[in-house]
Amino acid sequence: MTDYEKVVSWWQEKGITTDAELAEVLNGHSIAFAYHSGKIENDNITYHDTREIFEHDGVTSYTGDLRTLFEIRNEKDAYELFLIAFREKWPFDEVLIKKMQKRLTRNTYDIRRWQLGERPGEYKHHDYVTGKEEIGAPPEDVQEEMAELLTELKEVSDKDAFIAAAYFHAKFENIHPFADGNGRTGRLAMNYFLVMHNHPPVTIHEEDRKFYYDALEAWDIRQELRPLLDFLREQTEKTWKKQICRKAGYRDGTGGRRIIR
């Protein structure tokens, strides 16, 4: 059994059905996810500030810019929405994704975007692209492409959830449906899809962002999903390696070998 398979087995043995059970198993991981997801987009985000906001709803001796502080606070709000959605079993649809994006970008749209009519929780009204290939659907095509993508995912079984989640993330980032916050929204939405299909969520670690971008680029250029699947499998192992090592009885937290490159 691979380390990835051990993680999935460990998660599924827990039989998580309530938001309280989910919050308990995510204890600590919610902060790590918020920190890494935020820092991928904003290098000014620190783990210390993220932990302070999650645990105490504020920071002391903060000297950074207000946008960074809002982004961290928004991650906490989005996590609370994540738990509510899980408790009430919200469908994985455009309504949920727009709500996630709105929580993640509230009070952070710059003046230029605001003057152009862009608003958190709405699909983009103008062209915004990303990456070396400058990918992103034209604004007039976003609604149709998102509806088509989400329709494809409606009948996915738990067994196929991991592949479907990777496919969603690759396609979502390729569509680039919002004026801002696409990466953070895509990662949070992917994790919601995973936990709703009895699969452990994954933290994409900011120190591995080059491999992450390379994997997304493989889809953008050649529609190859394998690099992203391999990357997400490794990140899943990295996210939950302490739990697996503890279950296996290792004391050093590594299992006697490196889990991630």
Where exactly are the structural domains of the chain? 3-248
Range scoring the smallest mean pLDDT among 60-69, 187-196, 228-237, 239-248: 239-248
Spatial neighbors of 114 by CB under 8 A, at least 6 apart, are none
- pLDDT band at 247, cuts 50/70/90? low
Cα–Cα distance for residue pair 123/180, rounded to 1 Å? 10
Cα–Cα distance for residue pair 127/221, rounded to 1 Å? 19
Select the more confidently predicted residue: 1 or 176.
176
Compute the average pLDDT of residues 55-59.
93
Cα–Cα distance for residue pair 158/177, rounded to 1 Å? 26
Apex 67 CA angle, 65 and 68, nearest 5: 75
- The closest alpha carbon to 192, from 81, 95, 98, 106, belongs to 81
CB 34 within 8 A of CB 72: yes
Residue type, position 106, single letter: R
Residue 10, judged by CB atoms within 10 A of its CB (0-12, 13-18, 19+), counts as: middle
pTM for this prediction:
0.92
Q: How confident is the model over 104-138, as pLDDT tens digits?
A: 999 999 999 999 999 999 999 999 877 666 789 99
Residue type, position 42, single letter: N
Apex 236 CA angle, 40 and 222, nearest 5: 70
Cα–Cα distance for residue pair 31/48, rounded to 1 Å? 10
Q: How confident is the model over 187-215, as pLDDT tens digits?
A: 999 999 999 999 999 999 999 999 999 99
Apex 90 CA angle, 68 and 148, nearest 5: 85
- The closest alpha carbon to 203, from 18, 26, 15, 23, belongs to 26
Share of the chain above pLDDT 90, in %: 86
What class does CATH assign to 3-248? mainly alpha
Evaluate the CA torsion angle 161, 245, 19, 59 in order and state its sign: negative
User: Which residues lie across from 228 on neighbouring strands?
Assistant: none
